[in-house]
């Protein structure tokens, strides 16, 4: 028996035959991400059902020097959950850990397994007249553990914060198999270092999130959605400030979409109707939500009028029903699919101060035009968070083998522009493997040393999520 056969036999004993997948054909869906990317094949895919089973598998791997990678819904966009191509890793999938452990409507909190699908968590919260605000396009597949590991953002961040602000407690299996239980449901807990926050955004490199206590809010009783046409990015940013001032704290989403995004959405979902008669350069999709007796439609109509007066709004569609609001949101969601249909393209996820967004888009667009005049730039995203996806669709005739070098040049140019505004090269998707070089290039010596020190405390043998965020070779030089 080889070392690997021994491991598979041990996992089968721990989890039963159903809990271990070794046939290459059956592993297929665990080795590809949402965009179809793949790297290597795993030593095995294991599917524990409980925290104790996760701990048993991790403990075995730790004692036997076997590398592991946690996997949620594999919707991550930086290749972090894909098994490595050089070192065989055990994929630890949380797909069978889907229990809602409890919900406390008076405390506005709920406890869940790490493998719960985000959409199901949202549904369970709504059934108790509560609301879990994390909302993103992948919510039908991504898991709470993955959302925590990536510190996910989405469309409601401007009002409710990122995942980091939505977690009260955590349960984590540490890289040596020990279970750390921090499943507290406290809204205030100021005892020294906040250990749970270390796992938020750690991308599976410090431990496997098996449970979480999530922070809820009251379920919004009403919402108003509008798609407004605006003349420029600069106008969209001014409209954002106007909306915040006029609509109190009731703004829950504010998304920028250039015209090309609408066209991509219609290509992906031809059943969607263009809500405008004219082709405007930019659009803002915004949503107000509230509980209690608030006149949201009055607020929105007043905003539209004020926006026109200030010349930051050219035209607008206010959804008159939940179904119409759904149609407007479907445009936002389908445009991501539309980009995929156009083939390989450069995706970025950057942030700058909100006040610098317009200048950043202008400079990035000019840099891309200088390097590749016939490429198409689409700059869209969560501009209420200063978060833009400055994506580039290459000319259709570009040979496939020329794309990686082109994307590298374009990405470097866009990141240099972002640096000019003291921005971030990864606003919400994390580092994984895709953003690693750019991330490492921008770390100071002190940051490298501190990051390496944190990893050394949790996982000195580098067995969990090895090679993601800061690879061992980088750590030894810090
Ligand atoms: C259409 C689409 C839209 C998206 N929109 C957004 C958006 O608006 N905002 C945003 O932030 N992201 C967005 N994403 C990215 C993605 O959905 C998030 O990163 C999500 O949080 C990943 O969750 P997952 O369960 O799929 O994790 P995976 O992809 O399975 O894993 C991601 C990383 O987390 C680690 N991990 C997974 N589960 C665990 C666990 N239980 N414990 C420890 N580590 C774990 C993995 O090892 C990997 O490094 C989008 C993706 C798609 C496909």
**Does 391 lie in the same domain as 286?**
no
For ligand 1, whether the C-beta of 328 sits within 6 Å is: no
**Does 329 lie in the same domain as 407?**
no
207: left (phi over 0), alpha (psi -120 to 50) or beta: left
**Does 108 lie in the same domain as 30?**
no
Query: Of 218, 236, 253, which marks where a domain is finished?
Result: 218
Model pTM score: 0.92
Residue to mutate (ligand 1; options 58, 89, 91, 142; most atoms within 8 A of CB): 142
**Does 354 lie in the same domain as 288?**
no
Average pLDDT, stretch 353-362?
Answer: 97
For ligand 1, whether the C-beta of 90 sits within 6 Å is: no
Per the structure block, which two tokens stand in for 459?
């996982």
- pLDDT tier, 205 (very low <50, low <70, confident <90, very high otherwise): very high
**Does 413 lie in the same domain as 356?**
yes
For ligand 1, whether the C-beta of 214 sits within 6 Å is: no
Q: Quote the pLDDT of residue 151.
A: 97
**Does 230 lie in the same domain as 327?**
yes
Interval between CA 469 and ligand 1 midpoint (Å): 14
For ligand 1, whether the C-beta of 387 sits within 6 Å is: no
Half-sphere exposure (Cβ direction) of 159: Cα atoms closer than 13 Å? 25
For ligand 1, whether the C-beta of 47 sits within 6 Å is: no
From the list 250, 232, 315, 309, the residue with the least C-alpha distance to 278 is 315
Asked whether residue 476 is assigned to any structural domain, the reply reads no
Least confident of 108-112, 115-119, 468-472: 468-472
Interval between CA 445 and ligand 1 midpoint (Å): 29
Average pLDDT, stretch 32-53?
Answer: 93
**Closest protein CA for atom 16 of ligand 1:** 76
The answer to whether residue 1 scores a pLDDT higher than 70 is: no
Residue 317 structural domain? 222-341
**Closest protein CA for atom 21 of ligand 1:** 147
- pLDDT tier, 313 (very low <50, low <70, confident <90, very high otherwise): very high
Measure CA of the first residue to CA of the last residue in the chain; give whole Å.
39
For ligand 1, whether the C-beta of 466 sits within 6 Å is: no
For ligand 1, whether the C-beta of 268 sits within 6 Å is: no
Report the C-alpha dihedral over residues 195, 201, 203, 205, rounded to 10 degrees. Answer: -30
Q: For residue 147, what are the CA distances in angstroms to 250, 254, 267?
A: 24, 21, 29
Rounded Cα distance between 368 and 345, Å, is 13
The answer to whether residue 347 scores a pLDDT higher than 60 is: yes
Q: Quote the pLDDT of residue 475.
A: 73
**Does 329 lie in the same domain as 246?**
yes
- pLDDT tier, 3 (very low <50, low <70, confident <90, very high otherwise): confident
Q: Quote the pLDDT of residue 34.
A: 83
Per the structure block, which two tokens stand in for 285?
């999709």
Q: Quote the pLDDT of residue 471.
A: 85
For ligand 1, whether the C-beta of 367 sits within 6 Å is: no
pLDDT digits (tens, 9 = 90+) for 236-250: 999 999 999 999 789
Q: Please count the structural domains in the chain.
A: 4
pLDDT digits (tens, 9 = 90+) for 423-467: 999 999 999 888 999 999 999 999 999 999 999 999 999 999 999
Q: Quote the pLDDT of residue 30.
A: 95
Query: Of 284, 307, 341, which marks where a domain is finished?
Result: 341
**Does 229 lie in the same domain as 163?**
no
Asked whether residue 449 is assigned to any structural domain, the reply reads no
Asked whether residue 38 is assigned to any structural domain, the reply reads yes
- pLDDT tier, 334 (very low <50, low <70, confident <90, very high otherwise): very high
Asked whether residue 325 is assigned to any structural domain, the reply reads yes
Half-sphere exposure (Cβ direction) of 363: Cα atoms closer than 13 Å? 15
Average pLDDT, stretch 8-22?
Answer: 96
Q: Residue 173: exposed, middle, or buried by beta-carbon count in 10 A (0-12, 13-18, 19+)?
A: buried
pLDDT digits (tens, 9 = 90+) for 46-79: 999 999 999 999 999 999 999 999 999 999 989 9
For ligand 1, whether the C-beta of 327 sits within 6 Å is: no
- pLDDT tier, 477 (very low <50, low <70, confident <90, very high otherwise): low
Question: What is the chain's mean pLDDT, rounded?
Answer: 95
For ligand 1, whether the C-beta of 215 sits within 6 Å is: no
Interval between CA 142 and ligand 1 midpoint (Å): 6
For ligand 1, whether the C-beta of 133 sits within 6 Å is: no
């Amino acid at each position: 028996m080889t070392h690997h056969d021994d491991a598979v036999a041990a996992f089968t004993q721990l989890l039963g035959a159903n809990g271990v997948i070794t046939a290459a054909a059956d592993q297929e869906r665990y080795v590809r991400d949402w965009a179809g990317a793949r790297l290597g094949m795993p030593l095995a895919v294991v599917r524990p059902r409980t925290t104790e089973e996760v701990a048993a598998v991790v403990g075995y791997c730790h004692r036997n020097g076997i590398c592991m990678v946690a996997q949620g819904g594999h919707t991550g966009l930086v290749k972090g959950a894909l098994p490595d191509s050089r070192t065989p890793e055990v994929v630890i999938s949380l797909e069978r850990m889907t229990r809602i452990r409890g919900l406390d409507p008076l405390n506005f909190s709920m406890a869940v397994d790490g493998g719960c699908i985000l959409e199901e968590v949202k549904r369970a919260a709504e059934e108790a007249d509560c609301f879990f605000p994390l909302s993103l396009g992948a919510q039908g597949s991504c898991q709470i553990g993955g959302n925590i590991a990536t510190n996910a953002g989405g469309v409601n961040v401007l009002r409710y914060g990122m995942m980091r602000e939505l977690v009260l407690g955590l349960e984590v299996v540490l890289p040596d198999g020990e279970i750390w239980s921090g499943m507290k449901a406290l809204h205030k807990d100021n005892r020294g270092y906040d250990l749970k926050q270390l796992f938020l955004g750690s991308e599976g490199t410090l431990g496997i999130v098996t449970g979480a206590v999530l922070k809820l809010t009251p379920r919004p009783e009403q919402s108003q959605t509008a798609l407004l046409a605006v003349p420029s990015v600069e106008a969209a940013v001014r409209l954002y400030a106007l909306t915040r001032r006029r609509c109190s704290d009731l703004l829950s989403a504010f998304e920028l979409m250039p015209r090309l995004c609408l066209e991509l959405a219609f290509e992906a979902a031809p059943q969607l109707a263009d809500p405008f008669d004219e082709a405007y350069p930019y659009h803002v999709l915004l949503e107000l939500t509230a509980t209690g007796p608030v006149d949201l439609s009055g607020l929105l109509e007043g905003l539209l009028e004020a926006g026109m007066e200030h010349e930051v709004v050219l035209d607008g569609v206010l959804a008159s029903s939940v179904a119409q609001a759904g149609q407007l949101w479907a445009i936002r969601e389908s445009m991501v699919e539309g980009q995929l249909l156009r083939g390989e393209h450069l995706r970025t996820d950057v942030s700058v101060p909100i006040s610098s967004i317009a200048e950043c888009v202008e400079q990035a667009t000019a840099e891309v035009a200088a390097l590749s005049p016939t490429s198409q730039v689409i700059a869209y995203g969560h501009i209420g968070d200063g978060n833009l996806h400055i994506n580039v669709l290459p000319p259709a005739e570009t040979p496939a083998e020329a794309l990686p070098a082109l994307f590298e040049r374009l990405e470097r140019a866009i990141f240099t522009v972002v640096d000019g505004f003291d921005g971030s090269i990864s606003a919400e998707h994390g580092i994984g493997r895709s953003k690693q070089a750019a991330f490492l290039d921008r770390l100071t010596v002190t940051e490298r040393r501190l990051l390496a020190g944190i990893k050394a405390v949790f996982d000195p043998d580098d067995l969990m999520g090895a090679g993601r965020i800061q690879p061992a070779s980088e750590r030894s030089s810090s």
